[in-house]
Structures are given as C-alpha cells and as structure tokens.
Chains A and B, each alone.
Chain A
Amino acid sequence: MKRLVLAAGAVLLSAAQAQAPTLPLRIAEVTGEAGPCAPLAADAPAGQRAYVGLLAKRLDTEVLTCPVESAAAAAEALAAGGVDFAQLDAAAFAPVSGPARSILSARAVGDLNRLPVVVAVPRKAPAQSLADLKGASLVFGGPMKASLEVPRRALADYGASEAFFGPQMVALDYEDAASRLRAGQAQAMALHAGAWQKLCRGDQPGEDLCQDLRVVWRQRPVAGQAWAVRTDMSDDRRFRLIGIHVALHNEANSAFAWAAGEGAEEFEPTEAKALIHQGPTVGS
C-alpha cells in the first residue's frame, strides 16, 4: 500500500513538475523612460545580448527586459510583481525591503568579501553599543586591508567614521590589538570576524580565550548596489540565479562585463538586507 501510494505520488509530482509553466525572467533596466517588458532588441549591446542569452539558456525560460524610469521605479515594479530582478541602491531598496531581498552584489577588483566586522571592549567596560564609543580610543587588528580598510568602511557605513572615535592606532596583528586593549592602551578594538574567531578560539575543548572581552557591535559593510528579487521567488530560481552569476566572470566575459559593470571582479552573494543598515547608525 505504502509503495503504491509513493509511486502514485511520484508520478503525479513528476507530471506536475513537467507541466508547470516556467515563468519568464523579467529584468528591470533603468532607461529613464518606462515601457512594457519585452524580448531584448536585436541591436542591443553585444554584452547585454550575451548576458540575456546565457540567462535564457541556463534558466530554460524567456528573459524579458523591462524599461523603467529609475532605480526607485525598478524597486516599485519589483515589489508590485512587475519585474523579477533589479539592480538597486540603498535608497531604492529601503521602501521595498519587505517584499524584496538582495541576492548579489558585484565585488570590485582587489576588494575583499563583505567581511563581518566586530568591535569589542573589555567585559567590564560601560559601553553597551557603538554609540557609547563616541570619542573612545580604538585599536585596529593590523595594517592589512581586511584588518583596517574593511573595519573602517563598515564602521563608517554605520556613522562611526574616523572622526567619531578618539585616538586610533593600528596594531601589528589581531593578537597585538587584543594585548593593547587588555593593557588599557585602547578602549575598544575593531577586528574582522575571522580574526576575532582566531583570537578567541582556544586550543582546548570549548575554550574561549575572550571571556574578558565583550562584543558591542558586529556588522558587515553595507552594499552600495545589489541585485534584488522578490522574497517569494522560488528557492530554485533564486539559487540558480546566484549560481549562474557567481561563475559568470569565468564563463562569459562579455556577459559579465555588461551585467556587473566596470571595475567588477566577480559577483558575490549577499544577505537579504545587504543594502540597508542592520542596526542603528551613530552620528559623527
């Protein structure tokens, strides 16, 4: 009986999958003037034709471009279900952050991943949040891009630019930074999350080497631009879109150059709210 039911179910499910219409992918294109979604014009730039052609082939569906007036209009169309995929900035994304989510951003040549950044203080320090660190002395975990540039950018994204803090110093590495924090030479320490993990992970089972410290802030830098979809897009389509885009620079150069824009090295996935702040910003 169980086998029969399962077999019947498999047949029904398979038939339903085969018959399910594959929805077209409608991509918003900011042209300054709104228009109906349509197949790409034959005289479109070669890179765009390569990009749309590759998406159509890999998603096995029709790909339409949808002219919109602005990024804000693209976001509105996305929220309203008029387009499926749109490149947005923070201002355009913020009003539609409920029905939409970001899935991809373009990483510039030489840039790192959008690393999470941690700001820690001595456990007994009074600071409870980033805002409490106004004027505080800060030590960074080294001069490298991941140790200095990325934390500075993430902090600045949340309003804590260099002027927000008091004296700032750059340690030799994350261990040196922690030593300076513990010695009272700085009131707070900014590390990328990987360095924080290495600093705190002990060599003994369950050992936490940072029990004397406390994290008061942890965020990734905010993405400047990201490609967004509706949150009710199927997992299958969303992950396939991501999978196609992250390999685009290896597989189709002209399509990648068109889609990612000048100076991009590759597409990288993003969290759902990469374009907006995930906590309060502070004033400098």
Chain B
Amino acid sequence: MRRRSGAILAAIGLGLAGCGGEAKTTDGAWQGEMKEVRMAVRGSEDDPMITRRLTAYKTYIGKATGLPVKLYESSDYNGTIQALSSGQVDIATMAGGGYANVDAQIGDLAQPILTVRQAEGDTGYYSGLLVMADSPYRSIQDLKGKTLGYVDFNSTSGYLYPRAVMREQGIDPDTFFGRSSFAGGHTQAVMALDNGQFDATIIQAGGGDPEHGFTTGAHYTMARRGVVELADFRIIWAAGPIPNSAVVVRTDRPQPFIDAVRGAMAALPYDDPEVWRDIGQPDGAAYTAVTREHYAPIIKLRTDDIAARRSGERR
C-alpha cells in the first residue's frame, strides 16, 4: 500500500512538473472539466477483432487528450445511438442513419465532425443485396414474394437507404417481398442467409462500386476470418453511394475537447498509420471534416420514413 501511494504521489508530482514547463502535456483546464473521454463502439461489428484492436486507438486518443479513455461497447445500433443521445458517452462513430436518429432526438447537441475519405477521394459506400451463389436469383425482380433480411432498423446501408432506392425504382419494399425481418447486424444477416433463414439479405458493401465489384463488407470480413466461403455468395443489386460513417460528438462538451479529439483522429493516418490500419481503416484513406449538411439526405430519409410509419402509409 505504501509503495502504491508513493507511486501515485510520484505520478502526481510528475504531472505537476509537466504543467509548469514549456512543453506541457496540457494547455488549459478543459481536461479537468472532462476528466475522461467516453467513446461508444459497436461491440458486434462484423469483425470482433476490431474491438480488441481498439486498445491501441484508445491509448493514442488518451495520449492526445491527456485523459483516460473509456470504451463503451454496445451490441446493437440503438445502444450506441442512445448512449450518445443521453450523454452517457462524449463521442461515437456511427453510420449516417444512426446519426440521423441521434439528430432527431437531440438536434444540435450532437454534431458530426469527421468522416473517412477513401484513397480514391470518395466518401461513400453501398448497400448490397446478397444471395447465395447457388440460388436462382439474378436480379431484385427475382425476389418478389421471397424472404428478405434487413440488418437493423437503425442501419443506414442495411435498411434505410436501400428501401428508399427500391421505392425510387418502383418497388415497395413493404409489399414486394413475402416476408422481411431484422437480423440484428451485418454478420448476423450473412449468417442467417447462409443458414437458409432468408432468400436474400441487405448488407454493406464497399471498396469498389457496382460496376467493378466490391472488396469490403460483412461477408468479405467473415470470409477472411474463415467463418464463411466468399464464393458461396453473390451481390445482385446495389444502392449508393451512401455517406460514410460519421464521428459524432456531443456539442455540450468543451470546445477544446472537440478540437483536440478531431485533430488527433484526423492526424492518426499520418502520425500512426499502424493504428489506423489496426482499427480497420484502409490504407490511403484519411479523415475529412464534415458537418450536419453532409448527412442531410440521410436525415431526410429517416424523417420521411418515420413520418410515413406514423401516418400508417408504411409498415
């Protein structure tokens, strides 16, 4: 006990010494106000390794902000949305649909600050309609009356966006398919398709485009983990591009915190490319600053969808 107290006092002493010098760890008092950084992460993303790899990321953000970082894992989309909306966390990474939900709940109290720009300059990804490779389905029209799996009500690529595009193409997703239900996540959607629970499922697809094919998405990640065989699946329809996920912060946190965390995250691919890759970001990609305006189309889709449900126009 005495030894530990000594160590703690020594650490305090070092901290104080650091504050007085030219090269200080901290510049102001905002860290005293924040005390810690609370970040929401999805615990069941399609690559569970990512959560484990977040340790290095946590260390990086902790060093950059001079504060301990706590990761809050949520097993579903709504958990992350509610954690940010309620103020349980300060910052979260979420897809546009998730942010639209947060925006509907707390408006300006949350603000998207960064999104990923891919090497080629794009800032979007796609929804893919996935079927088993040995199935007879070649186009979305072949799925009339068949069972369809969505990812989650709060999923942008796995629910909100593809349904809007289907309507634009003259397909009412509520009546065209025989039955539809939520799988709970991209991984679960692929597993359910593989297990025969659905005839098709909607998933996220990226690292390419409909013309040239895709290289990222849940079934790619699962194949790399040895869970499924990539050759067992086919994408027969795609919608997009959809604005990439946003890093969203609570605006009632100190502005210096928002600036520092935005700066630290934006600098990551340049300062520590290994950690950048570790958290699943592609080489050559980088963060770019965004505002609510970037997600305005997704917010409108969400608002319209909710309004249609309330009016009974949609199921």
Where the two chains meet, the residues of A that have a C-beta atom closer than 8 Å to any C-beta of B are: 1-2, 5-6, 8-9, 12-14, 16-18, 20, 22-23, 58-61, 81, 103, 112-113, 115-116, 144-146, 173, 192-198, 201-205, 207, 232-244, 246-247, 249-250, 266, 268-272, 274
Contact = CB atoms under 8 A, between A and B. Distances in A.
B108 interface: no
B224 A207 contact: yes
B32 A113 contact: no
Contacts of A16: 15-16, 19-20
B19 A193 contact: no
Q: Which among B24, B225, B285, B290 has the greatest number of chain A C-beta atoms within 10 A?
A: B24
B306 interface: no
B121 A146 contact: yes
Q: Which among B119, B255, B266, B289 has the greatest number of chain A C-beta atoms within 10 A?
A: B119
Interface in B55-89: 63-66
Contacts of B25: 234-236
Contact of B264 (A116, A194, A243): A243
Interface of B: 1, 4-5, 8-9, 11-12, 15-16, 19-20, 22-29, 31-32, 63-66, 113, 117-121, 207, 212, 215, 220, 223-226, 230, 255-256, 258-264, 266-267, 269-271, 273, 282-291
Contact of A203 (B29, B64, B224): B224
B59 to A, nearest CB: 13
B284 A116 contact: yes
Contacts of B224: 201-205, 207
30 contacts: A2-B1, A2-B8, A20-B24, A58-B255, A58-B259, A59-B256, A81-B22, A113-B117, A116-B284, A146-B121, A146-B284, A173-B212, A192-B119, A193-B284, A194-B118, A197-B284, A201-B215, A201-B224, A203-B230, A204-B226, A235-B25, A235-B63, A235-B64, A236-B26, A236-B256, A238-B263, A246-B263, A247-B262, A269-B266, A271-B270
A242 B267 contact: yes
Given A205-B225, A249-B289, A269 B263 contact: yes
Contacts of B258: 243
Q: What 6 pairs across the A-B complex have the smallest Cβ distances?
A: A243-B263, A242-B263, A194-B284, A194-B119, A239-B263, A243-B259
A99 B121 CA distance: 33
Given A1-B1, A2-B5, A13 B28 contact: no
Nearest to B21: A232
Contacts of A274: 270
B286 A233 contact: no
Given A236-B27, A243-B259, A20 B19 contact: yes
A115 B284 contact: yes
B292 to A, nearest CB: 10
B5 A1 contact: yes
Contact of B291 (A60, A81, A250, A269): A250
A249 to B, nearest CB: 7
A59 B27 contact: yes
Contacts of A192: 119, 284
A242 B225 CA distance: 36
A269 B270 contact: yes
A268 B286 contact: yes
Contacts of A58: 255-256, 259
A250 to B, nearest CB: 5
A243 B284 CA distance: 20
Contacts of B11: 9
A17 B34 CA distance: 13
Given A20-B28, A243-B266, 5 more contacts: A9-B15, A16-B16, A20-B20, A203-B230, A246-B263
Contacts of B24: 20, 234, 236
A9 B263 contact: no
A60 B256 contact: yes
A9 B32 CA distance: 12
A204 B267 contact: no
Nearest to A239: B263
A275 to B, nearest CB: 13
A153 B15 CA distance: 45
A105 to B, nearest CB: 10
B267 A22 contact: no
Given A192-B284, A268-B286, A270-B270, A12 B12 contact: yes
Given A13-B16, A113-B285, A203-B224, A246 B27 contact: no
B259 A112 contact: no
